[in-house]
Amino acid sequence: MTDNPARAVPRPALVGIFGGLFAGYLGLTAVIPVLPAFLRDRHAAGDLVVGLVVTVTAGTALLVRPVAGALADRYGHRTVMLTGALVAALGGLLYFLPLAVPALVAVRLLLGAGEAALFTAGAVWTVALAPHHRRGQLIGLYGVSMWGGISAGTFLGATLQQVSFTAVWALAAAAPLLAAALIALVPVPHGEPGTAAPQEPGTAAQREPGTAAQRKSGGGGGLLLRPALLPGTALALGAAGYAGLAAFVVLHLDARGIGSGVLVLSCFSAVYAGTRLVIGHLPDKLGPRRVAAWSAAGEAVGLTIVALAPNLPVAVAGGVVTGVGFSLLHPSLALMVMNRADPTRQGAAIGAYTSFWDLGLAVWGPVTGLVAATLDYPAVFGVGAACAVAAAAMAAWIGRPTGGHGGTGRPGKPGSERTEARAA
């Protein structure tokens, strides 16, 4: 059956969710460029303390994302997303207090929990509201909203620092409050506790033919749900290239006498967002397995180009290819998770899946640093490319067609993954 045209895209709801995510991340990231100077000026902190305070949010985010997803499944996505925004606003207000470094660490841990709840509940809420044939596209656009908030937040934070730290703290509190207001304005659909859109004729199982066995086998048992394990591992492998590019492309090009590594990063970021806007529908149209595999392969090619680049135009081309590939990897793998998860556990599944991103960055940050220190900068991108190849192979293996009712599509029919991706 096809999607009901009447609920093609609930745009007012998506405006509230996407706008809430953007505003929430704007406030969360406004302090990032400011904290190092604040810690050194006010607390005489060294590099180790600065690094701890800035990055400690990833610890609670990693642990809280699956919990937040499970709570969203139980109590409603709006409730949990709204709670995340309010926690972020509270964290922003706490910056105003004359806190010692241990207390600042506690505030940052609290903000990590708020960020996890905000993002995870909003992600699966977006999927619940989306027409089946546009879920992958809307997951991608949801990510664009997050990255837009991060870019705007870091820029505004650095700008307001010229005024005062107090101005930055005000933004860190006010933006999540705006996010909470936008989220609160989204109406709760009738029928479930603030989460699912009203069901047109036919259940979720009927709208996803061939996946009942997957949902039965993958829907329970612990916070790390089985449907998220393999796609999440592929995502963590893909994160290696991003970690290496973000940390070392500037140093790599400087060492080669090329310079302008910031331009490569800027092109990567622009293409990352633009790809989702222009061709973000491909995971829905072609199937997530195919797009995930080709995206990871594209990331590997781009990283190899960056590693071997003899001049700036070639390095920029490598950044562009990497951005195109990496952009669609996350939504494609996320769509695999959603297709394989029990509809009642999709929040926990997407939360567990997203935790692999945090885990990947936590692992690959120090690993790429060790590679750079013991080998050289090109080796960093070589490791990232090898991990991307592994992610491509894993994505192709996860979604391979089978002879039964598992896998990605109907048995024995060419192009069945695409059929499932468009099924409704």
Q: What is the pTM of this model?
A: 0.70
Distances (CA, A) of 73 to 69, 80, 166, 174: 6, 9, 38, 28
The per-residue pLDDT for range 58-100, each reduced to its tens digit, is 788 888 888 888 888 888 899 999 999 999 999 999 999 999 9
- Cα separation of 327 and 324, whole Å? 5
Q: How many helices (H) and strands (E) does the chain have?
A: 18, 0
Domains of the chain: 5-188 (1.20.1250.20), 212-422 (1.20.1250.20)
Q: Grade residue 213 by pLDDT with cuts at 50, 70 and 90.
A: very low
pLDDT score for 360:
87
Q: Grade residue 345 by pLDDT with cuts at 50, 70 and 90.
A: confident
pLDDT score for 352:
83
Percent of the chain with pLDDT over 70: 82
The DSSP letter of residue 134 is: G
Higher-pLDDT residue of 161 and 220 is: 161
Tokens of 342: 């029990």
Percent of the chain with pLDDT over 90: 38
**Of 217, 220, 218, 269, nearest to 242 (Cα)?**
269
Phi/psi at 9 (nearest 5 deg)? -145, 110
**Of 264, 344, 275, nearest to 305 (Cα)?**
264
- Cα separation of 308 and 311, whole Å? 9
Most confident option among 179-188, 224-233, 240-249, 272-281: 179-188
Tokens of 96: 């105003």
Tokens of 254: 């400087």
Distances (CA, A) of 349 to 158, 189, 226: 36, 22, 8
Q: How deeply is 162 buried, as exposed, middle or buried, from its count of CB atoms within 10 A (0-12, 13-18, 19+)? A: exposed
- Cα separation of 382 and 376, whole Å? 10
pLDDT score for 225:
67
pLDDT score for 354:
84
Q: What is the mean pLDDT of residues 328-337?
A: 90
The DSSP letter of residue 199 is: P
Residue with tokens 């036919």: 202
Which DSSP string corresponds to 8-56? Answer: S--HHHHHHHHHHHHHHHHHHHHTTTTHHHHHHHHH---HHHHHHHHHT
What value does the mean pLDDT of the chain take? 81
Q: Grade residue 246 by pLDDT with cuts at 50, 70 and 90.
A: confident
Flag whether pLDDT at 104 surpasses 80. yes
- Cα separation of 193 and 410, whole Å? 32
**Of 229, 395, 400, nearest to 298 (Cα)?**
395
Instruction: Give the HSE-up count for residue 200: Cα atoms under 13 Å, Cβ half-sphere.
Output: 16
